[in-house]
Amino acid sequence: MRQSRPITESGHLIGVAASDDREWFLIAIDPRIEDLHGARFRDAQDAERMARRIYARETGQSIGAELPR
């Protein structure tokens, strides 16, 4: 069964973590995380963490305590 989880930052949808029954992959919505589009991850949290980290780097924001661990 496929699952998906939206990834937001500061109220903006930046991507979606989706599963294909074996692993999670990232669908980039925001062009600033486009390099991650299609990247595979162990779980949705890893995809979200990486998307937020790259988004923060590209926008000059800090990646504070709002990141799930």
In Å, the largest CA–CA distance within the chain is: 37
Is 68 a domain residue? no
Range of the domain at 33: 4-59
> What domain count does the chain have?
1
Is 35 a domain residue? yes
> pLDDT, tens digit, for every residue of 45-65?
999 999 999 999 999 887 654
pTM: 0.82
Q: Above 60 in pLDDT, residue 26?
A: yes
| Contact between residue 14 and residue 32 where contact means Cβ atoms under 8 Å apart | yes
Q: What percent of the chain has pLDDT over 70?
A: 88
Q: Above 50 in pLDDT, residue 12?
A: yes
Is 49 a domain residue? yes
Is 55 a domain residue? yes
Give the distance, in angstroms, between the CA of residue 8 and the centroid of all CA atoms in the same chain.
8
Is 26 a domain residue? yes
| Contact between residue 23 and residue 53 where contact means Cβ atoms under 8 Å apart | no
